[in-house]
Amino acid sequence: MAAANMKMKMQLRKGSEVEVQRWDGDSYSWLSGDVVSGNGRTYLVRIHGATTSQAAVLERVARKFIRPTPVPVGLRALYSWSTGDEVEAFVDHAWCPAVVTAVGYGKVVVYLHGKMKKIRVRTCELRLRRQWDGNQWTLLDKKPREAIISREFPAAADSHNVAG
């Protein structure tokens, strides 16, 4: 079975590595964490790097806002970005949905969905955008967003990431 359509039953146990969806206005991101405890409907999750102090934060989260950490698709995807690719960019300790707007040597400019801004990130701070639906990972289709790509936005800064 292809990695893009790999079926996995999400069983949340103590220590399970997960991602937690966090909303901020019109945008969302996925934060890494691990399950501390739960009852099947809500879980206590230790969120990693969620604050500027780098300390882990404990948060009670409903199951519908939790997904397993995605299985890597492969190294080839790290070096083959092109304009219009639907990706997730690692920004401020979270994976944010974005679309690639420009590609350069070792860096990529992405438009962050919901945040209405472009930023420049390193290729190692990108991953293919996937969706966890019905206990299955699926890749989002590559669909260029001409309206977003062709608009004029302020120039992207070198990097807004705190990933180092």
Residue 100 CA to residue 103 CA, distance in Å, equals 7
Nearest of 125, 132, 113 to residue 71 by alpha carbon = 132
- pLDDT, tens digit (0-9, with 9 covering 90-100), for 79-115: 578 899 889 999 988 999 999 999 988 789 999 988 8
Q: Which residue carries 């990130």 as its tokens?
A: 121
| Residue for token pair 């190692």 | 124
Per-residue pLDDT tens over the stretch 107-157? 899 999 888 889 999 988 988 888 888 788 887 765 544 433 333 333 344
Average pLDDT (73-83) is 66
45-64 pLDDT, tens digit per residue, is 999 875 555 556 899 999 99
pLDDT, residue 53, reads 58
